[in-house]
């Protein structure tokens, strides 16, 4: 009985993942600035390194890139009807970023490190839902 339940659950997960991929594949983002997301990707990687090295000023500069990018992403996705969760996910990222900046400004790099991971998870949630396959 357990094997059947496990197999049924695995099949359901595959079906859900396929459905999300199909939705992302059907979305047209040709009017979106791809360089924005590439810049944000670079900034979060650098931010992780900055926090690990306790480089406050560089971390705050990369956080500013992410702040601007998340605000632009929220604005862009708010105008669309086919990405209903995306604006909220962008706002979630902005909230995570606020906590991160507070930690950096307080020189609490241990907390900042956890905040970077939380922010990355927030980004990943949106990408899993809406990023078109490459």
Contact 89, 129 (CB under 8 A): yes
What CATH class has 2-130?
mainly alpha
* C-beta of residue 129 within 8 angstroms of C-beta of residue 86: yes
- For the chain, which residues make up each domain, given as ranges? 2-130
Q: Which residue has the tokens 């905040």?
A: 115
Are 24 and 133 a contacting pair, CB within 8 Å? Answer: yes
Say what the pLDDT of residue 48 is: 96
Q: In whole angstroms, what is the distance from residue 58 CA to residue 71 CA?
A: 20
Low-confidence ranges of the chain (pLDDT < 50): 1-4, 8-22
Which residues have a Cβ under 8 Å from the Cβ of 89 and sit 6 or more positions away? 122, 125, 126, 129
Contact between residue 24 and residue 131 where contact means Cβ atoms under 8 Å apart: yes
Residue pair 3/108 in contact by the 8 Å Cβ criterion: no
Question: What pLDDT, on the 0 to 100 scale, is given for residue 19?
Answer: 42
């Amino acid at each position: 009985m357990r094997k059947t339940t496990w197999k049924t659950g695995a099949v359901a997960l595959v079906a859900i993942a396929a459905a999300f991929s199909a939705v992302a594949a059907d979305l047209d983002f040709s009017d979106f600035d791809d360089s924005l997301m590439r810049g944000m990707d670079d900034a979060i990687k650098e931010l992780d390194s900055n926090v690990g090295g306790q480089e406050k000023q560089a971390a705050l500069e990369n956080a500013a890139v992410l702040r601007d990018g998340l605000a632009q992403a929220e604005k862009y996705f708010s105008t669309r009807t086919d990405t209903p969760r995306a604006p909220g996910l962008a706002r979630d990222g902005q909230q995570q970023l606020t906590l991160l900046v507070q930690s950096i400004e307080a020189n609490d790099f241990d907390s900042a490190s956890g905040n970077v991971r939380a922010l990355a998870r927030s980004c990943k949630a949106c990408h899993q839902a809406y990023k078109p396959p490459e």
